[in-house]
Amino acid sequence: MDRIQAAIEKTEKEIALVAFPEVGPPPPANDASWTKLSHVNLDRKRVAHGRVVTIDRTDKANFTFDILRTKILKTMRQNNWTSVAITSPTPGCGKTVVSLNLAFSLANLKDCRTVLVDLDLRRPRVGSVLGLEKVYSMERFLKGESALEDTFVRCGENIAVGANSYPVSYTAELLQSPKTPSILTGLKDKLQPNILLFDLPPMLVNDDVLAFLPNVDCVILVVAAEASTLSEVDVCERTLSQETNVLGVVLNKCEYGPEKYGY
């Protein structure tokens, strides 16, 4: 029996290392920049109304984001990637909701410090979905005019969010400014996230996504069932693959789920 148990434990460890290769210990939880960020208590009812289901985990839809989380982490850790952009072909595909759910699903892993940045600067929604009342300016942060602690807040033990409260003009110019890479490097150095998520605009409506892609390791494309067309998805996939690594396509707003197993 002992040999059987030892074999089981060895197999489980090998499987875990395939899914989550050892990349060293997580960043310290008490570093100055992280603890300097204000902590906000989210209105759980408001957040749930915005279809963010991975915080309280009471909605059965949360498991789909956990599966997405595991697939993403496996690929990113194998390639030593830390930053991922999330976009969609057109508005209304639900990329912000996917970004938020993925961020909080990742943050449920104690060794995965997660930072979500709202870079859909023309139509920012992250702050409103979370019910953040203070006015935040991602534009001022990217220009180096506001400090990290004036733009980012902690929404849990190991998740921080950079929100933007109002639409910004000349967004593509801002995203591809020579200052932007150094600002993002400073963000990574100070907060030391294991995963850095960027909620970007839809890519077929402007050039913001193409302007920002050089700053990330990979990208996810969110498409809407019965709304996004095959030609839109094809154009986006081909364009994205020429600029960065494409992690995959997420089918959102699908009415049919895998409920046959009874979970």
CA pair distance 94, 69, nearest whole angstrom: 17
Measured from the Cβ of residue 135, the count of other Cβ atoms closer than 10 Å reads 10
Q: What is the pLDDT along the chain (263 residues), one digit of tens a residue?
A: 444 444 434 444 444 444 444 444 444 444 889 999 999 999 988 998 899 999 887 787 888 999 999 999 999 999 999 999 999 999 999 999 999 999 999 999 989 999 999 999 999 999 999 999 899 999 999 999 999 999 999 999 999 999 999 999 999 999 999 999 999 999 999 999 999 999 999 999 999 999 999 999 999 999 999 899 999 999 999 999 999 999 999 999 887 665 554 44
Are 109 and 60 contacting, i.e. CB atoms less than 8 angstroms apart? no
Please give the model's pTM, rounded to 2 decimal places. 0.85
At residue 31, the pLDDT reads: 81
Beta strands in 119-256 (DSSP E): 152-156, 159-162, 195-199, 218-224, 245-252
Are 124 and 138 contacting, i.e. CB atoms less than 8 angstroms apart? yes
Are 78 and 84 contacting, i.e. CB atoms less than 8 angstroms apart? no
Pick among 3.30.1360.10, 3.10.129.10, 3.40.50.300, 2.140.10.10: CATH of 42-252: 3.40.50.300
At residue 60, the pLDDT reads: 79
Measured from the Cβ of residue 258, the count of other Cβ atoms closer than 10 Å reads 9
CA pair distance 231, 225, nearest whole angstrom: 14
At residue 259, the pLDDT reads: 57
User: Which tens digit of pLDDT belongs to each residue from 12-39?
Assistant: 444 444 444 444 444 444 488 999 999 9
| Two tokens, residue 141 | 């942060």
Burial class (CB in 10 A: 0-12, 13-18, 19+), 90: middle
At residue 253, the pLDDT reads: 86
Are 164 and 126 contacting, i.e. CB atoms less than 8 angstroms apart? yes
CA pair distance 153, 163, nearest whole angstrom: 8
CA pair distance 232, 245, nearest whole angstrom: 18
CA pair distance 49, 186, nearest whole angstrom: 34
User: Which tens digit of pLDDT belongs to each residue from 44-55?
Assistant: 889 988 999 998
Of the candidates 110, 24, 106, 10, the residue with the CA atom closest to the CA atom of residue 67: 106
Q: What are the helix (H) ranges across 108-142? A: 126-130, 138-142
